[in-house]
Amino acid sequence: MSTITIKNVTKAFGDVVVLKEFDQVFQDKEFITLLGPSGCGKTTMLRMIAGFEKPTSGEISIDGKVVSSEKTFVPPERRDIGMVFQSYAVWPHMTVFDNVAYPLKIKKLDKATIKQKVEWILDAVHLSQYANRMPNQLSGGQQQRVALGRALVAEPKLLLLDEPLSNLDAKLRESMRFEIKEIQKNFGITVVYVTHDQTEAMAMSDRVIVINRGIIQQVGSPLEIYRHPANQFVADFVGKINFIKGQVKDGRVELTGLGQSLAYDGPLTGQVVVAIRPENIRLSLEKGELHGKIHSMFYLGDVNDCRIDINGEQVRVIADSHSYDALYGNEDVFLQVREFLVYEDDGSDDHTKIVT
């Protein structure tokens, strides 16, 4: 059982407010990801759960027990949490075995139990044959597993991960994602994961919390935040997107710069911004809602990444890779828009604007 309740938590360093009003409940065995650009406050939130930072105001409880509030503060060493740091923080003066055994030694378990548990966890993170190595003899990926093993060995109910994959290469990063997810399922623990990589967030999380400039932008399943982003920031930060200014008129939305329009029966009126994900547009030579000229095409193997020139403005389309053979530059094409989103236009061109 490990439920985390975060009540109206704020954090400021001096005059700089890094986190405004964070109010969430993380359920037991849930995989929660804090997603946002660097400096958005996500790491600060994680460090407050760990106990490395004190909230400026508000309250944090783990399993109904208050660990941080105006009156009480439980230091990190008494919170029974596992944590993996971005720099791994594997102690260079201890062997792999000693690194992983450390939390158990602190708990003063007997030697035989420690040995047995460490071996079990090293097996789980595929490091059995490296037990006696020093950290400087390990690769980055292996060090990362040592850190993971050390975080899990005491069987905490809560595991915190601070951008654990950001220092690994792309292939390793992908396989580690599934391993971490697998471990979470097998151990039945609550995980709070911090990242700025939306693919990581999508691949592992039950719920994603998108944060920008210290403010929660949206909370939802990976599908919800991708398909139904709450605002332009989320739409832009999660996945790729085209933003086109427009105006709602008589059941249609006119795309101002493009001189064309799409059918729209939504609630918004007046000035709007239309957001279309590039993979939601299909190119056709026969028919479509919009039409333009092919400006450029990039063959990326799995997809064909194109820019379509519509009345002087460019729209990005991610098309099926075979379309690369069928189309050629400057050709007139139609665009079939399968799905698009409409946001109110507040007049600013800043897509990363925040909702307060």
Partner 1 sequence: MAKATAAVREKRFYLDVKWIIILAIVAFLVVFEVFPMLYLVYRAFMSEGSFSLEAFRRVYTYPINWSALKNTLITGGLSMIFGVMIAFPLAWLVGRTNLYGKKFFRTLFVMTYMVPPYVGAMAWLRLLNPSVGNLNVFLKNLFNLAENPFNIYSVGGLVWVLTSFYYPYAFITISRAMEKMDPSLEEASKISGASPLKTVMTVTLPMMAPSLVAAALLVFVSAASCYGIPSIIGAPGQVHTVTTRIIEFVNIGSQEGLTDATTLAVFLMVVANLVLYVSTFVVGKKQYITVSGKSTRPNIVDLGKWRLPVTLLVVLFAIIVVVIPFATVALTSFTVNMGKPLLSFENGKLITDNFTLKFWERIATRKAILSSAKNSLVFAVLAATIGILISCVMSYLLQRTNVRGKSIPDFLITVGSGTPSVVIALALIMTMSGRFGINIYNTMWIMIIAYLIKYLLMGMRTVVSAMSQIHPSLEEASLISGGSWLRSFKDVTIPLIAPSVVAGWFLIFMPCFYELTMSTLLYSTDTKTLGYELFTYQTYHSQQTAAALATAILVLVVLANWLLNKLTKGEFSI
C-alpha 24/C-alpha 9 separation (Å) is: 9
Read off the DSSP letter of residue 73: B
| Segment lying near partner 1 (by CB under 8 A), choices 25-33, 55-63, 73-81, 287-295 | 73-81
Work out whether 91 is an interface residue with partner 1 (CB under 8 A).
yes
Work out whether 286 is an interface residue with partner 1 (CB under 8 A).
no
User: How distant is the alpha carbon of residue 90 from its chain centre?
Assistant: 24
- Contact string (CB under 8 A) for partner 1, positions 141-170, x = contact: ------x--xx--x-----x-----xx---
| Segment lying near partner 1 (by CB under 8 A), choices 71-79, 182-190, 295-303, 340-348 | 71-79
Q: Which is nearer to partner 1, 140 or 259 (CB)?
A: 140
- Contact string (CB under 8 A) for partner 1, positions 31-60, x = contact: -------------------xxx--------
- In this structure, the dihedral spanned by the alpha carbons of residues 112, 113, 119 and 121, taken in order and rounded to 10 degrees, is -170
Q: Which is nearer to partner 1, 135 or 229 (CB)?
A: 135
Biggest alpha carbon–alpha carbon distance for the chain: 77
Nearest to 263 by CA among 339, 343, 344, 346: 339
Using H for helix, E for strand and C for coil, what is the string for 30-71? CEEEEECCCCCCHHHHHHHHHCCCCCCEEEEEECCEEEECCC
Read off the DSSP letter of residue 16: E
- Contact string (CB under 8 A) for partner 1, positions 240-269, x = contact: ------------------------------
71-77's contacts with Cβ under 8 Å and 24+ in sequence apart are: 75/51, 76/50, 76/51, 76/52
| Segment lying near partner 1 (by CB under 8 A), choices 24-32, 83-91, 225-233, 303-311 | 83-91
Work out whether 287 is an interface residue with partner 1 (CB under 8 A).
no
Q: Which is nearer to partner 1, 82 or 246 (CB)?
A: 82
Binding site for partner 1 (CB under 8 A): 50-52, 75-83, 85-87, 89-93, 102-103, 106-107, 147, 150-151, 154, 160, 166-167
